[in-house]
Amino acid sequence: MDLLHNTVQPYDWGSRTLLPDLMGVPPTGAPQAELWMGAHPAAPSRVSRGGVLAPLDRVVAAHPEEELGAVTVRRFGPRLPFLLKLLAAEAPLSVQVHPDLAQARAGFAREDALGVPLDAPHRNYRDDQHKPEMIVALTPFRGLCGFRSAADAARLLDSLAVPALRPYAETLRGVSEPLALAEVFRAFLRPPAGLLDAVARALADAAAGPDEARLAAYDAVARAHPGDAGLLSALMLRQVELSPGEALFLGAGVPHAYLSGLGVEIMASSDNVLRCGLTSKHVDAEELARVVRFGAPPARVLTPREEKGEEVYPAPVDDFRLSRYLLRAGGPRRRVTVDAPQILLCTAGTVTVSSGSGERLAIGPGRAVYVPAGAETGLEGAGTAFRATTGAAEHSG
C-alpha cells in the first residue's frame, strides 16, 4: 500500500477555504476546487517507488495485473477505471452533461479522424470512455440536476413575469413533455438579444422578495456568470440539496451543475464533458443537445445501505464502487481485502490503514492510501473513511 501524493486543481469556481479547513492546512488564497486521487493522465497521483515519487498511471501500466487484478484488467483493460476526488465548490460549475459509452467512442473516433489534437480547447471527446459519476456530501451541498417537468418549468418562467419568456412557457404547456423540454432547451442555447439581461433583473427582484428561497440559486448563477446563456438552461433544472452523507448519482445525458459545498466525488476515469454555459471553456451547443436525454427520470437522493459492516452507496455501473466506514476508537479492525485496486480516503478523525505484513499508515482528513489488488488490508481508528474500488470483483467488509 502507498500513501498518495495528490494534485489540487485551482479551477475558478473552487472554494478558498473548504479543502484547507478539511485538511487542517493554511489556505493559499487561491481557489482549491478539486483534489484528484487516481491514475487519470491529466493529473495522476504519485506513489513512492524506490524512494522516488512515480505517477500512478505509469505504475499501473508497468504491471497492470499485479496492480489491478485479473478481473479488472479483463473488464476494463490495463488502466485504473475510476477517479476519486474531493470537490469544493464556492461558485456554480458549468451546466454540463456526459456521454454514454457508445457516444464517447463514436465522438472520440470522429474527432480523431478529423485530426483534432487531444489537447485542443475545442475538442469535445478527450478519451473513448463514458463518465458516470456520484457525489457524496460532506457539508450541506447544493446543485442543479435533471430536468424539471415541463409544467413546472412553465410555472417558473411565468413567475418571472418577463414578456419574452411567454412563448417558451406556452411551448412547455402545449407540447408533449420530452419534445417540449427539447425544443425550449435548444432554443435557450441561443437566446435572442436582451433576454438574458431581462431574466437576470427579474431574478434579482424575485430573489429579494417572497420567492427568495425558490429563486436564490438561480439569482446566484446570474450574478456569477453575467450574460451567460447557461442561465436559461439552469432555469430548466431541478434544485437538489444534499445533507452530509447523502449522495447523488448522475448517469449519461443528465444535465447538471453543482453550486456550492464540499463532497467526495467518484467517477469513471474520463474527461468527456459537454458544456452549455456558465463557463469560459468550449461550448458545443449542437453536440450537447444531441447527447442530452430529455426523457430521463429525475435523479434521486441516495443514502448508503449496510453491507457487512460498511455503508455502500448504490450505483448502476461497475466502473466504480464507493462505500463509507464510520470507525470508532477501540472498535474492530475492518478487513477490506478485495481482488481489485482500492483508494482509502479519510474525511474525518484519524484512520489507520494496515497491511498483512504489519505496515501501518495513519492518515488524517484529506489524505488517502492506494492499495493494489489482493493486498491484505484493514481499517481501524476513530474517524470516517471512504473506500473507492471497482464494482467488478467480489467485496468483503
Write out the catalytic residue numbers.
Answer: 275
State how far the Cα of 47 lies from the Cα of 111, in Å rounded to an integer: 33
Q: Is the distance from CB of 44 to CB of 83 less than 8 angstroms?
A: no
The stretches of 225-264 forming alpha helices (DSSP H) are 230-235
3-state helix vs strand vs coil in the chain, percent to 5: 30, 30, 40
- CA 390/CA 374 separation, integer angstroms: 13
| Positive or negative torsion for Cα 159, 165, 167, 168 | negative
264-283 burial, b if ≥16 CB within 10 A, otherwise e? bbbbbbbbbbbbbbbbeeeb
The residues pairing with 82 across neighbouring beta strands, listed in sequence order, are: 268
Name the 3-class secondary structure at 245: coil
Rg (CA), the chain: 22
Q: Is 125 within 8 Å of 118 (Cβ atoms)? A: no
| Residue in 360, 366, 392, 307 with CA at minimum distance from that of residue 80 | 392
Question: Alpha carbon of 145 to those of 122, 253, 286, 295: distances in Å?
Answer: 25, 11, 20, 13
In 53-98, where does DSSP find H-type helix? Answer: 56-62, 64-68, 70-76
Residue 75 sits at φ, ψ, to 5 deg, of: -80, -40
Q: How many helices (H) does the chain have, and how many strands (E)?
A: 12, 22
Q: Determine the Cα–Cα distance for residues 228 and 221; give it in Å rounded to an integer.
A: 9
Asked if 13 contacts 352 with a C-beta cutoff of 8 angstroms, the reply is: no
Residue type at position 342: Q
Is residue 80 a contact partner of residue 260, using CB atoms and an 8 Å limit? Answer: no
Cell matching residue 304: 448508503
